[in-house]
Amino acid sequence: MNAPETKLREGILDWNGLTTGVKCKKKTIIMPFVILALMIGCSQLPLSAYGEKTGLALGVFLSLILCYLIQPWDMVVSTLMVPVAGFFLGFWEWNVIQTSTGTSSFVSMFTLSVVSAGAATTPFGKRLALIFLRKFYDKPIMMVFAVGLCSALLSAFISNTAVIIMMSGIVNGLLLTMGEKPGESRVGRVMMVLIVTGSCLGGMALINGCSASALLGIGILESATEGAYTITYRQFASVGVPSVLLTVVPCLAIYIKGMGLKKSDFKNTLPLEYYQNLYKELGPMQGCEIRWLILTAVMVVWLFLGGHSTAVPLTCAIIAVLPVIGCVPVKKMFEHVPMTILFIILFAGTIGSLLTKTGLSVLFTELLSPIFTGLNPYLFIVVTCLIMAVLENICVTVNTIYVLIMTLVSPICITMGYNPSLMMLPVLMLHCTFFVLRLNVTVLVNKHYGWWETKDGVIPGIIVVLILCLVFPAVALLVGPMVGLPIRI
């Protein structure tokens, strides 16, 4: 007779995370006391000259940043605390919360994600990858380069995460068939790292590709400047597309060269028939692929020509899920929509209100201005991009850094007479430079295959980031004034 199975029973409180899914840890218990200490301590600071309750607001702000970094609970929970704390502590009336959530990029982000899901719910993504591989199957180095370039091309239109998952699955099967061994193969190491790098680079071209981070940043910019400044789809694309076109090829080449890949590393190459058979399995291009391509092209062109940033994606998202003419099954739609980031976007605007409604922006501007004082527009952007890139790779919870830099630097732009929309545009794009150390959760979906370690490709990555931090600001300053983004206000 088998012994009865022992099961944990939930008590009055869910210490083991049986229901909530989060096991209680020491930091979960300690953090509320730390938050209380910060709020009490900061409220005693002599900061009333900057505005009423500025000290208390500083305590709330520091508590938020600490919660983002330590994560005693999910980031969504931390973000949701801000509007509630601001209301009950008297920082603002409830209409401020209603305004910030009503003007957030939540709907734009959601609808762009729905349209982008079509590349995963149809065979198009896999088809495009195999087209590249068939073309360069007998040119090993070029084939590796093609993997990175294909990842970049796809990532301009769909999310980085979706591209990394899809391309990694294809390339992992390819490498194993070639007889390469995870952890031992230089070929596998470079190809998998290039998928990550190419996806991050391509995502900088259009809001489609980095919709979560781009729209989050635009929302923070709008909030930090009380709605005075924003960035349109056309302005983002006008700077992003030429910046990526100028850098993607040399950056991929730097990784291939810097990681020491040689033709002699390819012990076994696969015949054309292998790729042909995989391609044949897909069959002729299906109607769903054609519909997705047309829908995506229409959306991009419509937005680039000045279409409403929310109404246009919403219209296209509706078409994408309609019967007969759609390409995304409604039941699978939410599998491709990053709801966690969506809710952070929805309430992140109140983080900007925490600064603008309490005098914190004046305090931080006074403290940080000396770092930027005397810098011309180009150096101003370069320094901010470098700070962003370094912190993005060090801090795993990258949205913390994104929120912090965008919120604090935007007011400084204004005090120096610079246009924050133009100055922050390259910073929005450089938010995707976490591919150097590859500690971000977006990238880790690629690591579990076992082909690379964190230390692989660090030196080429640093060189690439330096190039991006120099080129993107230059393109922004050249192109920005042509698309309604003057350098000075």
pLDDT in tens, the chain (489 residues): 454 444 566 678 878 887 777 788 888 999 999 999 999 999 999 988 888 889 999 999 889 878 877 878 877 788 888 888 889 998 888 887 887 776 666 787 788 888 888 877 888 888 888 888 888 877 889 989 999 999 999 888 887 877 888 888 888 888 888 888 888 899 999 999 999 999 999 989 998 877 667 777 887 788 778 778 889 999 999 999 999 999 999 999 999 999 999 988 888 778 888 888 888 988 999 999 999 999 999 998 998 888 888 899 899 999 999 999 999 898 888 877 767 767 776 776 677 677 777 888 788 778 878 888 888 999 999 999 998 888 777 765 556 667 777 778 888 888 889 999 999 999 988 888 888 887 666 676 788 788 988 888 899 999 999 999 999 999 999 999 999 999 998
* Spatial CA neighbour of 242 closest among 4, 479, 486, 451: 479
Beta-ladder partners of 488: 418
* Spatial CA neighbour of 340 closest among 125, 76, 160, 158: 76
pLDDT of residue 401: 66
Longest distance between any two alpha carbons in the chain, whole Å? 81
Which residues are within 8 A (CB) of 440 and not within 5 positions of it... i.e. 6 or more apart?
A: 392, 396, 398, 434
pTM of the predicted structure, to 2 decimals: 0.77
pLDDT of residue 482: 94
What separation in angstroms does the CA of 330 have from each of 115, 295, 336? Answer: 11, 16, 11
Spatial separation of the C-alpha atoms in residues 482 and 476, rounded to whole Å = 10
* Spatial CA neighbour of 85 closest among 450, 403, 384, 351: 351
Q: Please return the burial class of 486, using the count of CB atoms within 10 Å of its CB with bins 0-12, 13-18 and 19+.
A: exposed
Dihedral (Cα; 196, 197, 203, 205), 10-degree rounding = -160
pLDDT of residue 355: 72
Tokens standing for 438? Answer: 């590859």
HSE-up of 315 (CA within 13 Å, CB side)?
13
DSSP type of residue 1: -
Residue that the structure tokens 């305590």 belong to: 59
Spatial separation of the C-alpha atoms in residues 195 and 148, rounded to whole Å = 5
Orientation angle between helical segments 140-155 and 124-136, nearest 10 degrees: 160
pLDDT of residue 5: 47
Q: What is the DSSP string of 299-355?
A: HHHHHHTT--TTHHHHHHHHHHHSTTT--S-HHHHGGGS-HHHHHHHHHHHHHHHHH
Tokens standing for 181? Answer: 């061994």
- Sign for the pseudo-dihedral over CA of 171, 172, 173, 178: positive
pLDDT of residue 399: 61
- Sign for the pseudo-dihedral over CA of 337, 339, 341, 343: positive
Q: Which amino acid is at 475?
A: V
pLDDT of residue 42: 92
Q: How many CB atoms lie within 10 A of CB 305?
A: 10
Tokens standing for 59? Answer: 């305590």
Q: Answer whether 127's CB lies under 8 Å from 288's CB.
A: no
Spatial separation of the C-alpha atoms in residues 171 and 177, rounded to whole Å = 10
Spatial separation of the C-alpha atoms in residues 112 and 313, rounded to whole Å = 6
Spatial separation of the C-alpha atoms in residues 236 and 476, rounded to whole Å = 9
Instruction: Report phi then psi at 418, rounded to 5.
Output: -95, 150
